């Protein structure tokens, strides 16, 4: 569970014209469920996600994750937290071009043993990739298959929190729908945060957070 207290993020601190990417707000997020974060480009969505996932440190404010203050963690503690509890999906898949689909999933495994290899295959097949695709390099997969491989990679360590920044932005409607179905299913037992500027993909989200200019305009709106 995340508790955000008065979070601020200022880029270009040393310049006279400061950019307030996050303008100081409170927010509490639950342990489970699909939470959509929606807002126009530049409204601070990615910055919020990077702060929650410890990829960035806010300028001011507190972020508690299960009672632990994230900004107080040492570098190696943050790395362990990311590796063990968080998963990431981005707009671009960032798969390794010379590795097979299975190896791309396995590369993120905390422990690369036979069980992990089995889980990698299970994940890929549950996302509709067949045996024929397991050995293929990303360039031989379709766009939708690549993104589903990236999601399998993000889930290999069964993260408690899955962060997805515009995960469907590069996909057609059908593939976007499939990806959202996968994320919704995962959100039954875990927290899934999906950033988007396309409201239509958030049908069935448990909660929608709206951002505008670094602030929350609505923290509890539903479709
Ligand atoms: N590394 C950075 N340096 C300076 N400004 C940044 C940086 N990253 C983002 N910004 C600015 O912060 C604001 C919020 O950006 P971002 O969080 O990426 O928004 P969104 O994801 O909603 O498009 C924007 O004005 C953006 O230009
Ligand atoms: Mg963004």
CATH of the domain at 44: 3.40.50.300
Q: Which residues, judged by CB distance below 6 Å to any ligand atom, belong to the binding site of ligand 1?
A: 11-12, 19, 21, 39, 41-47
Please give the distance, rounded to the nearest whole angstrom, from the Cα atom of residue 24 to the centre of ligand 2. 18
- Reported as a single tens digit per residue, the pLDDT across 92-118 is 989 999 999 999 999 999 888 999 999
Please give the distance, rounded to the nearest whole angstrom, from the Cα atom of residue 137 to the centre of ligand 1. 33
Per-residue model confidence (pLDDT) at position 218? 74
Ligand showing the shortest atom-to-Cα distance for residue 45 = 1
Res. 221: pLDDT tops 70:
no
Mean pLDDT of all residues in 53-60: 95
Shortest-distance atom of ligand 1 to CA 44: 17
Residues 118, 75: Cα–Cα separation, whole Å? 31
Question: Which amino acid residue places its CA nearest to atom 4 of ligand 1?
Answer: 11
Res. 48: pLDDT tops 70:
yes
Instruction: Output the pTM of the full model.
Output: 0.94
Res. 166: pLDDT tops 90:
yes
Ligand showing the shortest atom-to-Cα distance for residue 166 = 2
Residues 46, 61: Cα–Cα separation, whole Å? 17
Res. 201: pLDDT tops 50:
yes
Per-residue model confidence (pLDDT) at position 223? 41
Domain total of the chain? 1
Beta strands in the chain (DSSP E): 2-11, 19-29, 33-38, 60-65, 68-69, 86-89, 161-165, 191-196, 207-212, 215-221
Residues 102, 174: Cα–Cα separation, whole Å? 23
Please give the distance, rounded to the nearest whole angstrom, from the Cα atom of residue 45 to the centre of ligand 2. 6
Please give the distance, rounded to the nearest whole angstrom, from the Cα atom of residue 44 to the centre of ligand 2. 7
For residue 194, the SS3 value is strand
If you average pLDDT over every residue of the chain, what do you get?
93
Residue of 17, 43, 47, 48 to mutate, ligand 1, most atoms within 8 A of C-beta: 47
State the residue range of the domain holding 143.
2-221
Phi and psi at 146, nearest 5°, equal -65, -45
Please give the distance, rounded to the nearest whole angstrom, from the Cα atom of residue 90 to the centre of ligand 2. 10
What does the block give as tokens for 17? 């014209």
């Amino acid at each position: 569970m995340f508790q955000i207290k008065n979070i601020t993020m200022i880029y270009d601190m040393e310049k006279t014209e400061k950019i307030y990417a996050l303008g100081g707000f409170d927010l509490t997020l639950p342990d489970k469920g699909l939470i959509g974060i929606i807002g126009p480009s530049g409204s601070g969505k990615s910055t919020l996600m990077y702060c929650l996932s410890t990829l960035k440190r806010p300028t001011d404010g507190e972020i508690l994750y299960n009672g632990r203050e994230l900004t107080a963690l040492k570098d190696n503690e943050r790395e362990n937290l990311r590796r063990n509890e968080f998963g990431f999906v981005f707009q671009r898949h960032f798969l390794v071009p010379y590795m097979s689909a299975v190896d791309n999933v396995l590369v993120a495994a905390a422990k690369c043993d036979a069980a992990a290899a089995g889980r990698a295959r299970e994940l890929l097949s549950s996302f509709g990739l067949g045996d024929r695709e397991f050995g293929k390099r990303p360039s031989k997969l379709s766009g939708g298959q690549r993104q589903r491989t990236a999601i399998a990679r993000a889930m290999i360590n069964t993260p408690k929190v899955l962060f997805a920044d515009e995960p469907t932005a590069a996909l057609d409607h059908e593939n976007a729908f499939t990806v959202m179905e996968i994320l919704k299913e995962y959100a039954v037992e875990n927290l899934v945060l999906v950033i988007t500027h396309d409201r239509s993909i958030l049908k069935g989200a448990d909660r929608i957070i709206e951002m505008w200019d670094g602030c929350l305009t609505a923290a509890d709106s539903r479709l």
